[in-house]
Amino acid sequence: MKLLIAVIQRQDEAGLIKALNAQRIGVTRIGSQGGFLREGNITLFIVIEDSRLEDVLQLVRTHCYTRTKFVAPLPPIAESGEFYPSTPIEVQVGGASVFVVRVAEQARL
């Protein structure tokens, strides 16, 4: 058995959960926040049999998109009175970060 921990963007949540549920795969959803962009994400916990791993990863690939975003970089530590021009930089966001963990035991209590 495997536990997938998938961190995805909010925009991708509905489509992925609908696709997982259509395959009779249960999901636990928790709101989370990224440390780099400081924006809201969704973390999904998905427990599956080993044989379904590739199918679930393909659903994540299909429903979680990479996007381009412009963000203002964090200013360096500056002396008092210094000016720091914050020119936005282009970054790729989205897709999914998926962690796969072996499950020794699962119990429903």
Assigned domain for 54 exists: yes
Assigned domain for 107 exists: no
30: domain range? 2-102
Could you tell me the pTM of the whole model?
0.78
Contacts of residue 77, Cβ cutoff 8 Å, sequence gap at least 6 = none
Assigned domain for 108 exists: no
Total domain count, the chain? 1
In Å, what is the CA distance from 43 to each residue of 30, 71, 105? Answer: 5, 22, 21
Assigned domain for 109 exists: no
Q: Give per-residue pLDDT as tens, 28-49.
A: 999 988 766 667 899 999 999 9
Q: How confident is the model at residue 96 (pLDDT cuts 50, 70, 90)?
A: very high
Q: According to the model, what pLDDT value does residue 4 have?
A: 98
